[in-house]
């Protein structure tokens, strides 16, 4: 069994301290902030000890049997809000209506899996009725930021020839702009209805919920002539679990507990480029 430890900043001493607990047969530095402990004897007790110590040291841990190679994968599929970007777009749009608190509470409950995503989206969008559509541009220009490591991750996987998919329970206004800006290959998201320059409080067409996200990954894989296990899928909320479940590598990024528990990889401290040391 192998264990990759990763951190941020000047973390060499922290990495070495936690690595020593594993009694590895070999240690390999993958970069200055990532250390692989090879040949460890896995046990539930050791895992718990490592997790507690790593959490206290603000390090991410990823266990694996053998090694993954970048060449095993052909697609990277990403959620948008709170994954590829740092914000929940609908919450920031709602802020223009003075309704961020109400909408954020619904968003959080949906991401934890406590509310049906489709119904929660309809409820949240309904609160935006009458808002000037220029608010979307304002959110994009003033509040939308890429998550740490996103640019580096995308550059690496695109250079390696992997295709990219942005599939979001958010909105096409943002996914289409990010597609052009980042050179992404595919996108799928919800379309807000706008009439006379105002949001109507409705969504047009099929809602991109958990099932639609999964179908989207399957469709893109079929188009590329690959199987879903050749995809890396990243997300943070409960509505990402179905598409993550069919992937070859599922990545929970700054995710809700229900997602961290089911993912192959959980990145709580490092950026999205934290997947790169895992792909030798």
Q: List the catalytic residue out of 10, 60, 81, 236.
A: 81
* 3-state secondary structure at position 148: coil
How far apart CA 249 and CA 85 sit, in angstroms, is: 20
DSSP E strand boundaries for the chain: 2-6, 26-31, 34-38, 60-64, 75-78, 163-171, 186-195, 198-204, 231-235, 249-253, 265-267
Q: Is 79 a catalytic residue?
A: yes
Q: Is 81 a catalytic residue?
A: yes
Q: List the catalytic residue out of 60, 79, 91, 273.
A: 79
Say how far residue 23 (Cα) sits from the centre of its chain. Answer: 32
Q: What share of the chain is helix, strand, coil (3-state, %, to 5)?
A: 45, 25, 30
How far apart CA 25 and CA 78 sit, in angstroms, is: 35
How far apart CA 114 and CA 261 sit, in angstroms, is: 16
Phi and psi angles of residue 124, each rounded to the nearest 5 degrees, phi first: -70, -45
Point out the residues that are catalytic: 79, 81
């Amino acid at each position: 069994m192998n264990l990759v430890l990763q951190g941020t900043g000047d973390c060499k001493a922290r990495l070495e301290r936690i690595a020593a607990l594993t009694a590895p047969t070999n240690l390999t530095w993958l970069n200055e902030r990532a250390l692989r402990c090879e040949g460890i004897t896995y046990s539930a007790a050791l895992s718990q000890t490592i997790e507690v110590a790593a959490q206290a040291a603000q390090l991410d841990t990823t266990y694996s049997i053998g090694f993954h190679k970048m060449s095993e994968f052909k697609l990277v599929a990403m959620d948008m809000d709170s994954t590829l970007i740092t914000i929940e777009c609908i919450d920031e749009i709602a802020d223009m209506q003075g309704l961020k608190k109400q909408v954020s509470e619904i968003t959080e409950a949906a991401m934890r899996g406590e509310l049906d995503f489709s119904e929660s989206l309809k409820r949240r969008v309904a609160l935006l009725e009458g808002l000037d559509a220029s608010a979307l541009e304002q959110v994009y220009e003033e509040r939308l930021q890429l998550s740490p490591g996103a640019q580096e991750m995308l550059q690496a996987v695109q250079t390696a020839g992997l295709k990219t998919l942005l599939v979001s329970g958010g909105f096409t206004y943002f996914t289409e702009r990010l597609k052009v800006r980042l050179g992404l290959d595919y996108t799928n998201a919800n379309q807000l209805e706008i009439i006379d320059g105002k949001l109507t409080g409705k969504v047009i067409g099929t809602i991109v919920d958990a099932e639609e996200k999964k179908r989207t990954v399957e469709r893109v894989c079929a188009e590329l002539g690959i199987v879903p296990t050749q995809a890396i899928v990243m997300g943070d909320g409960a509505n990402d679990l179905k598409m993550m479940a069919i992937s070859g590598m599922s990545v929970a990024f700054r995710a809700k507990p229900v997602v961290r528990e089911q993912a192959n990889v959980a990145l709580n401290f490092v950026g999205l480029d934290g997947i790169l040391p895992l792909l030798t």
